[in-house]
Amino acid sequence: MNVEIEIVTDENRLRPENSEVERLWADNTKARELFGWTPAYGGREGFKRGLAETATGWRARRTCVATRRTSIIYDFCKRAARQY
């Protein structure tokens, strides 16, 4: 893009050292026990499908005010889905 930018960091908004979670693990056992819920699809293909459907939903709901931002998120999600 050939645009120079300045990155401004607010030290008060930075996370403390060693506070970042590197890997998240999900467990839907409680949802199944409480509500009888089970995922409609899963695994790698489920991830790709869910990501693509989420991106499509975002794209469908975008507004004139957020058009550029939503388009960037949509494009990112579509690229990510193709990688997996």
Question: In the prediction, which pLDDT does 13 show?
Answer: 87
Question: In the prediction, which pLDDT does 71 show?
Answer: 65
pTM as predicted:
0.36
Question: In the prediction, which pLDDT does 64 show?
Answer: 43
Terminal-to-terminal C-alpha distance of the chain: 27
Contact yes or no for 48/56 (Cβ under 8 A): no
- Give the residue among 62, 58, 53 at the shortest CA–CA distance from 74: 58
Extents of the domains making up the chain: 42-84
Question: In the prediction, which pLDDT does 56 show?
Answer: 81
Question: In the prediction, which pLDDT does 27 show?
Answer: 87
Residue-wise pLDDT tens for the chain (84 aa)? 788 999 999 988 888 888 887 787 888 899 999 999 988 888 888 888 888 888 887 766 655 445 555 566 667 767 776 765
